């Protein structure tokens, strides 16, 4: 008969193996049998601990979300707002969790929505502090600006493989981060257009569209 500690050890090994397999191959391409083979256990033991593959995936989702959101989680030892940064600084150890996170965000599970909301809130908090300190230019829609900057930050996580193929190196590696840091800050600090023609054109087009919509609505309300 297995002891309770043996059961806990087997459960953790199955979970960690599943996270690595899901991160590497994706959820749909990874079977319980393949996870069992990599973990050195029987498929029946996975069922014993987790039930079916969907339940195993949910357990992995919850564990990875906790790793990046819960300060008491034992995987990544860093304050909540710095946990993803801490993982990026040690890809050899945490790379599978970053890749798993990328799969989660693309797949749109409930757990990934919670994590995305947390990252969005952290970005909003940083921008609010920078705005209060006078470090930001005024924008027409601060909440949309927050969302866009969050997407820029998550891009290398979600599209890590594609970006590495284009750059010839992992953007999340030390060399990749060195290469992208200054161009990213140039984009955020100065923008890329040397003219405001595109911006003013968009503003004019949207204002005209709004005026047409209001005129149409007023016409419909008149008897």
Taking each helix axis from N to C end, the angle separating 53-69 and 91-107, rounded to the nearest 10 degrees, works out to: 120
CA distances from 1 to 56, 92, 131 (A): 23, 37, 61
CA distance 162 to 50: 33
From first CA to last CA, the distance across the chain in angstroms is 83
Residue 76, both tokens: 């990544």
Mean pLDDT of the chain: 85
Confidence of residue 95 (pLDDT cuts 50, 70, 90): confident
Regarding pTM above 0.75, the answer is no
Residue 102, both tokens: 């990328």
pLDDT digits over 108-134, tens only? 778 788 888 888 988 898 899 999 999
- Is the predicted pLDDT of residue 7 greater than 60, yes or no? no
Model pLDDT, residue 198: 93
For residues 160 and 146, the model is more confident at 146
CA distance 199 to 203: 6
Model pLDDT, residue 5: 44
- Is the predicted pLDDT of residue 80 greater than 70, yes or no? no
Most confident segment among 67-76, 100-109, 202-211: 202-211
pLDDT digits over 157-201, tens only? 888 889 999 989 888 887 888 888 899 889 999 999 999 999 999
Q: What is the 3-state secondary structure (H, E, C) of 30-45?
A: CCHHHHHHHHCCCHHH
* Residue 80 neighbours by CB under 8 Å, 6+ apart: 68, 69, 70, 71, 122
Model pLDDT, residue 60: 92
CA distance 70 to 62: 11
């Amino acid at each position: 008969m297995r002891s309770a500690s043996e059961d806990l050890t087997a459960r953790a090994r199955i979970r960690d193996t599943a996270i690595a397999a899901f991160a590497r191959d994706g959820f749909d391409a990874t079977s319980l049998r393949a996870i069992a083979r990599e973990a050195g256990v029987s498929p029946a033991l996975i069922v014993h601990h987790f039930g079916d593959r969907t339940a195993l995936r949910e357990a992995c989702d919850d564990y990875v979300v906790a790793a990046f959101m819960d300060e008491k989680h034992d995987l990544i030892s860093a304050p909540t707002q710095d946990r993803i940064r801490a993982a990026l600084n040690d890809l050899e150890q945490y790379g599978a969790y970053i890749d798993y996170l990328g799969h989660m965000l693309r797949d749109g599970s409930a757990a990934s929505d919670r994590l995305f909301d947390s990252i969005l809130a952290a970005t909003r908090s940083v921008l609010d502090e920078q705005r209060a300190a006078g470090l930001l230019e005024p924008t027409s829609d601060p909440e949309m600006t927050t969302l866009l900057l969050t997407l820029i930050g998550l891009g290398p996580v979600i599209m890590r493989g594609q970006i590495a193929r284009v750059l010839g190196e992992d953007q999340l590696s030390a060399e990749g981060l060195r290469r992208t840091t200054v161009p990213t800050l140039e984009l955020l600090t100065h923008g890329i257009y040397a003219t405001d023609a595109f911006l003013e054109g968009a503003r004019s087009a949207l204002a005209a569209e709004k005026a047409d919509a209001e005129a149409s609505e007023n016409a419909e309300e008149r008897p």
